[in-house]
Structure 1
Amino acid sequence: MNTEIERKFLVEKLPDLSSAERAVVRQGYLTAPDDSTELRLRQKNDKFFLTLKGSGALVRVEREAEISAEQFQTFWPETDGRRVEKERYTGKLPDGRVFELDVFLGDLAPLQLVEVEFQTEGEAIGYIPPDWFGIDVTADKRYKNKTMAINGLPA
């Protein structure tokens, strides 16, 4: 089973992103707001994906397949009212781990979140983040992209 083990944090202050890879991302959700499983369409630069994510916070099922631009466009209208736009910066932390920093655009600006993935739950639980990371929002459902796509910025 494909699982994702990750922690998510608010960003206290932006780090130097000069060596990070930048992508423009738009994603929309096909599933209803109260569905425990997410079915998401994502465009990341010129690539397109269909992703299923299970329920959970720290650990959850994730399955993803690359799809064609035509397939993406077929289903994209069904995500109206449940979309997120952001710039994603992917880089390396001093400990060698990869971070994904999202700078949200549109109605979700100026929100900034950073995620780090782990091999085990123990690694994730014991992780000490760098000083530019802010509050841990891994378990706060208000900061899930699907929730924000529907409800806007967390109050």
Structure 2
Amino acid sequence: MSMEIERKFLVAELPDLSGTQKAVVRQGYLTSPDDSTELRLRQKNDSYFLTLKGGGNLARVEREAEISAEQFETFWPETKGRRVEKERYTGHLPDGHIFELDVFSGDLAPLRLVEVEFATEAEALSYIPPTWFGADVTEDKRYKNKTMAIKGVPT
């Protein structure tokens, strides 16, 4: 079983992104808003994925499979009204962790979130973020991509 352990933060100020990898992302959700498990389609540049994420905040099950563009396009219309568009910047923090910074576009602009993954829950809970990170929203369900795809920017 693949487990994702991550913390999510608002972004207080954008860091220098010159050493990061940028990906243009569009994703949509096939599951209904009330389902605790998420089934997501994602296009990341020229790659396509089907991802299942279990319920939870700090730690949750995650399974992902790469699919073809044709398979993606077959199911994409079913995500109407439950979509997110963003640019994702992936880079390294001075402490060795990898960050994923999402700059949302469309209805979710100008929201910016950053995530960091960890090997253990203890590591995640003891993590001290850099100064450019803002408030920790890991436990705030309003900042889950699926919720924002349906309800918009949290207020």
**Shorter-chain TM-score: which interval?**
over 0.9
Gaps of 5+ in 2: none
Q: CA deviation at 1:40?
A: 0.1
One-letter amino acid of the counterpart of residue 75, structure 2: F
Q: CA deviation at 1:19?
A: 0.4
Secondary structure of 1:88's match? strand
Instruction: Tell me what 1:103 maps to.
Output: 103
State TM-score, norm by structure 2: 1.00
> Aligned partners of 1:33 and 1:25: how far apart in 2?
21
Encode CA deviations 1:98-127: one digit per residue, 9 max, x unaligned: 000000000100000000000000000000
> Aligned partners of 2:153 and 2:22: how far apart in 1?
23
> Aligned partners of 1:61 and 1:97: how far apart in 2?
21
Instruction: Tell me what 1:27 maps to.
Output: 27
Q: What CA RMSD, in Å, does the superposition of the two structures yield over aligned residues?
A: 0.2
Encode CA deviations 1:107-154: one digit per residue, 9 max, x unaligned: 100000000000000000000000000000000000000000000010
Instruction: Tell me what 1:86 maps to.
Output: 86
Instruction: Tell me what 1:5 maps to.
Output: 5
Q: CA deviation at 1:18?
A: 0.3
State TM-score, norm by structure 1: 1.00
- Give the ranges of 4+ consecutive aligned residues of structure 1 lying more than 6 Å apart after TM superposition: none
Gaps of 5+ in 1: none
One-letter amino acid of the counterpart of residue 17, structure 2: L
Residues 1-155 of structure 1 aligned to structure 2 (within 5 Å): 1-155=1-155
One-letter amino acid of the counterpart of residue 56, structure 1: G
Secondary structure of 1:70's match? helix
Q: CA deviation at 1:95?
A: 0.6
Secondary structure of 2:123's match? helix
